[in-house]
Amino acid sequence: AFVNAASEVLGIGSEQCGDLMEEMAKETDNMRALLELPRGEIRSPADIEVEVRERVAELTLAISLENQRMAEQQEDLMQRAITDALTGVGNRAAFDARMSLELQRLVRSGAPLALLMMDVDEFKAFNDTYGHQAGDRVLQTIAHVLDANIRAVDYLARYGGEEFALVAPDTSADGVF
């Protein structure tokens, strides 16, 4: 009887009306599941709206927190990609990128640029005598001392093995030492 009355009001056939009602019931169940609303309760539209707004706020907060976590993770990964894991200073790839930028700046502006390449003498012999862990501590200490004694505009990187590179913009050869 309801389907017949609804089909008359809507101006469609009763079979079409039944199909429409089935589709509406499915969509209602989908929305109820999505919003985690209990089944079978009859509530006012205002109550449902309040509950929907609360759930949307919860989901928005969860998405915001997840976005923040992912941004922090991305920042961490980007930092790891340019940092030497042992010494904490720039790595070779980061040095190459920085040096390229500084050379472009040098060509453009003509400002002086100093590059210091440093190698730890007798490092292999030290490693062979005292072990790689001791050698690692030496490299970490050297990197820390160098990094603590350069300007903010300078760039220190582990070039490879026991080699370090220091890029010092706006510095002439006389100003390095």
User: What are the tokens at 162?
Assistant: 């026991």
Total-model pTM = 0.62
**Helix locations, the chain, DSSP H:** 2-10, 14-34, 45-82, 92-109, 123-130, 132-148, 173-176
Of the chain, the end-to-end C-alpha distance in Å amounts to 98
Q: Which of 27, 36, 54, 162 is catalytic?
A: 162
Q: Check if 66 is active-site.
A: no
User: What are the tokens at 77?
Assistant: 């990964």
Q: Over its length of 177 residues, how does the chain's per-residue pLDDT go in tens digits?
A: 777 787 778 888 888 878 888 888 888 878 777 777 776 666 777 887 888 889 899 999 999 999 999 999 999 999 999 999 999 999 999 999 999 999 999 999 999 999 999 999 999 999 999 999 999 999 999 999 999 999 999 999 999 999 999 999 999 877 766
Closest-CA residue to 55 (of 39, 33, 70, 40): 33
